[in-house]
A and B are shown apart, each in its own frame.
Chain A
Amino acid sequence: QVTLRESGPVLVKPTETLTLTCTVSGFSLSNSRVGVSWIRQPPGKALEWLAHIFSNDEKSYSTFLKSRLTISKDTSKSQVVLTLTNMDPVDTATYYCARTPSYYYDGSGQRVIYYFDYWGQGTLVTVSS
């Protein structure tokens, strides 16, 4: 049974760094095709993809937030960690981790992530002083 579970602080102050952990079970982070992304959703708003990590440790980031994001994984602990620096109230959102079952190569040879077949329950992070 595939599960993902997010953990981290519920409240952070402006300018602080957010660190979230996604603990997975039912699949291995070393599986050659599977990967994990982070996605967020501000209250009442749409979903926004943030970052992805592939099994070989290759990373992919949102164009808009690339300078503030870092994604990493610890395969032995089945964990994927996301850090987002310089938090602002507009970063208040529910943060989800989600699994992608595979990827493909586009015409330029870049890996493109698939859809998300399993999601964690999400964790609400509020940014306020």
Chain B
Amino acid sequence: DIQMTQSPSTLSASVGDRVTITCRASQSISSWLAWYQQKPGKAPKLLIYKASSLESGVPSRFSGSGSGTEFTLAISSLQPDDFATYYCQQYNSYSLTFGGGTKVEIK
């Protein structure tokens, strides 16, 4: 199975900060990558698919980039609603895998 490694595991930031989260794949996954946001006690919510395509209804402050083995999720100006845990997911192989998650905390 393809391993997905996210960094950092925890990120402390303030409202208005620009934050970036990195996801690395153990082998090339082209652009077959999605990003999700999850709040405590809730199901994940799709933010980005195909590495850089913004899901309908997701604020434009979220953006995704990368291809191959290295990907980035960026939040241009962190809002109070953005404090959550973020996961990447590869869909390059039939056995899907998720990253370990990055928790974005209030500084």
A residues at B contact (CB < 8 Å) = 37, 46-49, 52, 60, 62-64, 96, 98, 106, 110-117, 119-122
Total contacts A-B at CB 8 Å: 62
B residues at A contact (CB < 8 Å) = 1, 32, 34, 36, 42-46, 49, 55, 87, 89, 91-101
B43 touches A119 (CB 8 A): yes
Q: Report which of B43, B45, B87, B91 forms a contact with A112, defined as CB distance below 8 A.
A: B91
- Consensus secondary structure, chain A interface: loop
A112 touches B94 (CB 8 A): yes
A120 touches B43 (CB 8 A): yes
Q: With A63-B1, A112-B93 given, is the CB distance from A117 to B46 under 8 Å?
A: yes
Q: With A46-B101, A47-B87, A117-B55 given, is the CB distance from A110 to B46 under 8 Å?
A: no
Return the chain A residue nearest B6 by Cβ. A46
- Report the minimum CB–CB distance from B9 to chain A (whole Å): 10
- Report the minimum CB–CB distance from A125 to chain B (whole Å): 15
